[in-house]
Structure 1
Amino acid sequence: MKIQKKRPLTENQLAECAALKEIFNAKKESLGLTQEKAAQHLGMNQGSFSHYLNGRNAINLEFALSVSQLLEVPVTDFAPRYAKALSDLRVETLDSFARFRPEGEGAEGRINEWAGQVHVTASAYPLTSWGGHRMRDPSSDQIEGENDPNFIGSTEQAGANGYWVAMQGTSMSRAIAPCFPPGTYVLINPDVYEFQSGKFYLARHSDGDYAIRQYMREAGADYLVALNPAFPTIALSPEWSIVGLIVDARMPDL
């Protein structure tokens, strides 16, 4: 089975990390923060927080919302690409969030425990077309309809480069659950490097075709299985790569 290596950050993503690091260094003394304390308030370890500051992890919207409140700056001060998504969901200032200020030895509650619309905003991902630019290169800042992108919320986490796509064909349709009828929106996490038998994944063929299948490992062999028995099982070979995990699914308008 071919496993995708972690993609390097784009120039824009590196610039966001650098801007956040500059803000953090400028404000940490007045806020009484170290990297260790900031990470604690954000619900992560110091190493993970450092990866965001130093350009090893791309800044996703959930983290951006958390750290913006901790540092008391708008998200757009370091991640301007999220401006439209926040504006569309009417989240314009930090007053939209439950206020939090680290004091004393610790804090009551975690900074990323939001309510209502803010939680949905933190998990908003763009809808791309099947085989479109975002699907071919999830780390790209470009998405279809970038002047008026369609963001769909989810309580599931799809990583910094997650996206929605509509299911094509009937290969994953059947009379019982789970099933993915044509048109079902599926949320893809492309930054997954460990695979679990029984989970559903997006796979790409070397000729550019895509397929959503259930990954099965039996007797030391790897297979991509369609839920519709009319479609053949695919034995994983060098021609196929698993390029994303399905973390959520819903019918349009639900």
Structure 2
Amino acid sequence: MKIQKKKPLTEKQLAECAALKEIFNAKKEALGLTQEKAAQHLGMNQGSFSHYLNGRNAINLEFALSVSQLLGVPVTDFAPRYATALSDFGPRSLDSFMRFRIEGKGAEGHINEWFGHIHASAAAYPLVPWYSLRMRNPASDRFEDESDPDFIASTEPAGADGYWIPMQGPSMSSAAAPSFPPGSYLLIKPNDFEIKAGKFYLARHSGGDFAIRQYMREASSDYLVALNPTFPTLGLNPDWTLVGRVVDVRMPGL
């Protein structure tokens, strides 16, 4: 079988990688980052992260959005070709989000063309407190405990009722990737989500408590597993039920 060689990056793509590498090297000490730590926060291995910095992998939309959050810089600082499209995905008002939920069209505008070789769409979802009314009933039309929430864009579809929540406690912190440390933002898809072993979910206890866990199935039994080994494994039924799937993760404030 003939092995197809990887297409070399264009000059523009190489320039983006070089610009990102310069930004990373300038900020890593202040942020307490190494390539390995940055890769862990981004949910990849160190080799993959190095490929982006050194021009072996082109910077795509998903990686650009994630690494910009990690380094605290706009995507356009290292990938200016995304400027026009990304300008539509800043914080949104609650009225804007309600129109999204009713019309089912995402945030006001889609990213749908990326220079002929990348195709993606993005939508903005609200960041809400843990135990918020939205967590308990995401399909409701009234959320009295939310004033004017921030909205965070993602290319991962979370549905009309999707929302971000801040991770609570160290139960999903791990020394190796994946790891969801306290304060990281998790995008929850509360409806029509696939249940698959190894994926991460928001679970609700019959007593009203919530937890983020990895779903595992073994010997016809369902389990909810914490990444932190000091936390116990939970039985899925009847006490716990899955009420949403984690489809994206961000690391703010680093």
Runs of 4+ in 1 over 3 A off after TM superposition: 83-86, 119-122, 142-147
Give the conservation status (yes or no) of the 8 Å contact 2:213–2:224.
yes
Q: Does 1:81 find its partner at 2:95?
A: yes
Question: Which residue of structure 2 lines up, in the alignment, with residue 124 of structure 1?
Answer: 124
Q: Does 1:235 find its partner at 2:210?
A: no
SS state of the match for residue 177, structure 1?
A: coil
Q: Deviations over 1:60-110 (max 9, x none)?
A: xxxxxxxxxxxxxxxxxxxx9327999xxxxxxx9xx6xxxxxxxxxxxxx
Give the conservation status (yes or no) of the 8 Å contact 2:132–2:145.
no
Q: For structure 2, which runs of at least 5 residues remain unmatched after alignment?
A: 1-93, 101-107
| Alpha-carbon separation, structure 1, partners of 2:221 and 2:148 | 44
Using structure 1 for the length normalisation, give the TM-score: 0.53
Q: Does 1:247 find its partner at 2:247?
A: yes
SS state of the match for residue 212, structure 2?
A: strand
| Alpha-carbon separation, structure 2, partners of 1:147 and 1:129 | 11
| Alpha-carbon separation, structure 1, partners of 2:253 and 2:124 | 15
Question: Which residue of structure 2 lines up, in the alignment, with residue 63 of structure 1?
Answer: none
Q: Does 1:141 find its partner at 2:141?
A: yes
Q: How does 1:105-124 map to 2 (within 5 A)?
A: 113-114=112-113, 122-124=122-124
User: CA 1:239–1:188 in structure 2 vs 1: closer, same or farther (change >3 Å)?
Assistant: same
Q: Deviations over 1:211-251 (max 9, x none)?
A: 00000011111000000000000011212110000000011
Pairwise CA RMSD of aligned residues?
Answer: 3.0
User: CA 1:202–1:235 in structure 2 vs 1: closer, same or farther (change >3 Å)?
Assistant: same
User: CA 1:208–1:120 in structure 2 vs 1: closer, same or farther (change >3 Å)?
Assistant: farther
| Alpha-carbon separation, structure 2, partners of 1:188 and 1:160 | 11
| Alpha-carbon separation, structure 2, partners of 1:253 and 1:144 | 27
Q: Does 1:208 find its partner at 2:222?
A: no
SS state of the match for residue 95, structure 2?
A: helix
User: CA 1:151–1:130 in structure 2 vs 1: closer, same or farther (change >3 Å)?
Assistant: same
SS state of the match for residue 127, structure 2?
A: strand
Q: Deviations over 1:124-155 (max 9, x none)?
A: 00011001111111112334664422111111
User: CA 1:152–1:85 in structure 2 vs 1: closer, same or farther (change >3 Å)?
Assistant: farther
| Alpha-carbon separation, structure 2, partners of 1:213 and 1:83 | 28
Q: For structure 1, which runs of at least 5 residues remain unmatched after alignment?
A: 1-79, 87-93, 98-110
Question: Offset of 1:113 from its aligned partner?
Answer: 1.7
